[in-house]
Amino acid sequence: MNALGNYKICLLLLLAASQSLSFIDRVNLSVVLPELIKEHSYSPSSAGLLMSLLNFFYVGAIIFAGPLTDRIGATRTFPLAVAGWSLATGLCALTVQFWPLAALRALVGIGESPNIPAGSQVIKHNFDKTERGFAVSAQFSGTKIGLAVGIPLSSFLLATFGCPWVFIATGLLGAVWVAAWLLIYKKPVGETTTHAARAQSHIRWSTLLKVRSVWGMVLGQAGYLYVYYVFASWLPGYLALKHNLPILSTGFLAMLPFVSGIAFTIFGGWANDRLIAKGYTISRVRKSFAVGGIFGATIFTVAVALSQETWMAVAAMTAAVSMISLTTAAANAMPIDVAPPHLVSSCASIQNVGGNLGGALAPLITGLLISYTGGFMVPLLFAALVGLVLGCGGYGLIVRTLDREIDISDFTFDTQSAVSFSPGLRKAGPTVASAE
């Protein structure tokens, strides 16, 4: 990987910051939930539903966010998205009642839906193929930074100033990001020429649904994010409810797995790029990291389920989040690797529909299983099973080659010009044939 210039470094900081903000604005509710359960008569199942609503609306909106971003460009969709979800976050300070809070959290989810598609487009247009693993890892390290910073920050705000200031303070951070984006970002040539590429191509976003590897990415992402969101949404509640820890202690201990996750995310992206630069195929590298990280996470998730001591649980959670973080760069680089430039946001959206459906179900199913079983063992064992079947199965068995972009030769046409299913991307050599 070549040394990155100052502008690319600034882009990576913006991408990481947008992910950080989105997860700060997700986890702030996770920190508030134990108070809602103890002081405002929320049940674990209703708390799980409240956390899941954001992701359910996110999933519904991201179907449209990707094609919209491909059509009008990340230059406009990115700042509008951050401003929209940050405003909705701030408005959550107005109520602790379930339905008004649920409506506002739904707006946060809708606002966040262009975040990943827009970021994928920025990486596609501004970073070379041997830089994209690191770029994706830098972008998604922001999710761990958001959790590592957001949990103790929200815990401090809750303990010191009360519930409303958790949402007001975290919502205001979005205004800082929007100002930085307007000052730094330059519309790339690639974004300008995307409209011409779209007009000339026979491939539309719906055509991507006919590629086997895309479905493998959808299922794999669902398993990967199910495991991740169990920890992202319930970790503070797990420490507070199972181990009876106070708010500030919960915030500190819940931060540790995600601090470790930052390092493993960056390492995974760096290692992806190094191996690809040495001649290993993109398919081999991406699939090895995706499957290996999820498999390791499932083992340590089982260890969390069986842990009785607080220190053992925290150590196992740290290991689980670290291993799942090795998957991050590989999994989220796949749409950038295979999608044509005019469809990269759409491909990222398709993958993340499945991924965030898993992420949306994780808090809800976990809450329901806690209510039904009275503990965390069964929900954690179920999470490990989902990661193994969907995550390892999708990325390991269904995804095929990722070594070139999808083009018209991946499909056959009959006399009526109907696109028919091709079993997967054709196998290519060890280097990537660029269509850019």
Which pLDDT belongs to residue 246? 73
d(CA 147, CA 170): 12
Which pLDDT belongs to residue 413? 40
Q: Is residue 178 part of a domain?
A: yes
CATH of the domain at 372: 1.20.1250.20
Cα dihedral 71, 74, 80, 86 sign: positive
Q: Is residue 432 part of a domain?
A: no
Q: Is residue 433 part of a domain?
A: no
Q: Which of 126, 426, 423 minimizes the C-alpha distance to 283?
A: 426
Distances 335 to 219, 222, 280, 341 between C-alpha atoms, Å: 13, 15, 19, 10
38-89 pLDDT, tens digit each: 888 888 788 878 888 888 899 899 989 999 999 999 999 999 999 999 999 9
d(CA 25, CA 146): 8
Token pair for residue 144?
């761990």
d(CA 30, CA 40): 15
Q: Are 21 and 174 in contact (CB under 8 A)?
A: yes
pTM for the full model?
Answer: 0.78
Q: Is residue 435 part of a domain?
A: no
Which uninterrupted H or E stretch holds 312? helix 310-338
Q: Is residue 198 part of a domain?
A: no
Q: Are 89 and 393 in contact (CB under 8 A)?
A: no
All residues at 6 or more sequence positions from 168 whose CB lies less than 8 Å from its CB, including other chains: 90, 93
d(CA 327, CA 293): 5
d(CA 256, CA 339): 35
HSE toward the beta carbon, residue 156, CA cutoff 13 A: 10
Tens-level pLDDT at each residue, the chain (436 residues): 566 889 999 999 999 999 999 999 988 998 898 888 888 888 878 887 888 888 889 989 998 999 999 999 999 999 999 999 999 999 999 999 999 999 999 999 999 999 999 999 999 999 988 899 999 999 999 988 998 888 889 989 999 999 999 999 999 999 999 999 999 999 887 665 555 555 455 677 778 888 999 999 999 999 999 999 888 877 777 777 777 777 667 667 778 888 899 999 999 999 999 999 999 999 999 999 999 999 999 999 999 989 888 888 889 999 999 999 999 999 999 999 999 888 999 999 999 988 888 887 888 898 889 888 888 889 999 999 999 999 999 999 999 889 888 876 665 443 343 333 344 444 444 333 333 3
160-180 pLDDT, tens digit each: 999 999 999 999 999 999 999
All residues at 6 or more sequence positions from 51 whose CB lies less than 8 Å from its CB, including other chains: 29, 30, 33, 233, 363, 364, 367
Token pair for residue 431?
């280097």
Q: Is residue 436 part of a domain?
A: no
Q: Are 296 and 326 in contact (CB under 8 A)?
A: yes
Domain containing 49 equals 8-185+204-420
All residues at 6 or more sequence positions from 183 whose CB lies less than 8 Å from its CB, including other chains: none
- Supply φ then ψ for residue 419, to 5 degrees: -75, 130
Q: Is residue 265 part of a domain?
A: yes
How many domains would you assign to the chain?
Answer: 1
E strands in 150-201: none
